[in-house]
Amino acid sequence: MVEPQSRSAGVDKFVTVDGLRTRYVEEGEGLPVILLHGGSLGSSADIFKRNMKPLASAGLRVIAFDQPGYGLSDIPQDHSAAYRREFIPKFVAALGLGKVALVGHSNLGNAAVTLALKNPENYSHIVVLGTGSLLPPLDDGSSVRPPPFLVERAKINSEPTLEQTRALMESYLYHHDLITEEEVALRHRHSIGRNFEAFLARKRVAASGSKPARGASWQLLAQLKTPLLMIYGRDDRGGAEQRAHLLREMCPGISLHLVDHCKHLLPWDAADDFVRLSVSFLTQ
Identify the residue with better confidence: 2 or 202.
Answer: 202
pLDDT in tens, 47-105: 999 999 999 999 999 999 999 999 999 999 999 999 999 999 999 999 999 999 999 99
Over pLDDT 70: what percentage of the chain? 89
> What is the pLDDT, as a whole number, of residue 9?
52
With residue 135 as reference, give the H or E element that holds it. Answer: none
Task: Report yes or no: 66 and 88 within 8 Å, Cβ to Cβ.
Answer: no
Indicate the pTM of the whole model: 0.92
C-alpha–C-alpha distance, residues 74 and 81, integer Å: 16
pLDDT tens per residue, range 248-269: 999 999 999 999 999 999 999 9
Nearest CA to 201 out of 15, 64, 39 is that of 39
Angle CA 129–132–135, to nearest 5: 100
Cα-based distances in Å from 210 to 172, 193, 266: 29, 27, 31
Mean pLDDT of 173-185: 97
Sheet holding 20-27, edge to edge: 13-17, 20-27, 60-65, 31-36, 100-105, 123-129, 228-233, 256-259
First vs last Cα of the chain: how many Å apart? 33
3-class secondary-structure state, position 15: strand
Output the average pLDDT for the chain: 91
**Calpha distance 210→167 (Å, rounded):** 32
**Distances 241 to 69, 136, 238, 284 between C-alpha atoms, Å:** 31, 11, 9, 27
Element (H, E) at 125: strand 123-129
Check whether 147 has a pLDDT greater than 90. Answer: no
Share of the chain above pLDDT 90, in %: 82
* Structure confidence at residue 284 (pLDDT): 83
Q: Which residues contact 207 (CB under 8 A, 6 or more apart)?
A: none
* Cβ atoms of 196 and 68 closer than 8 Å: no
Say how far apart CA 207 and CA 240 lie, in whole Å. Answer: 25
**Whole-number pLDDT of residue 141:** 55
How far, in Å, CA of 218 to CA of 178, rounded? Answer: 31
Q: How far apart are CA 275 and CA 271, in angstroms?
A: 6
Give the largest Cα separation in the chain, rounded: 54
For residue 206, the model assigns a pLDDT of 86
User: Which of the residue ranges 145-159, 216-230, 253-267 would you say has the lowest mean pLDDT?
Assistant: 145-159
Structural domains in the chain plus CATH codes: 13-282 (3.40.50.1820)
- pLDDT band at residue 144 using 50, 70 and 90 as cut-offs: very low
Phi, psi of 91 (to 5 degrees): -65, -45
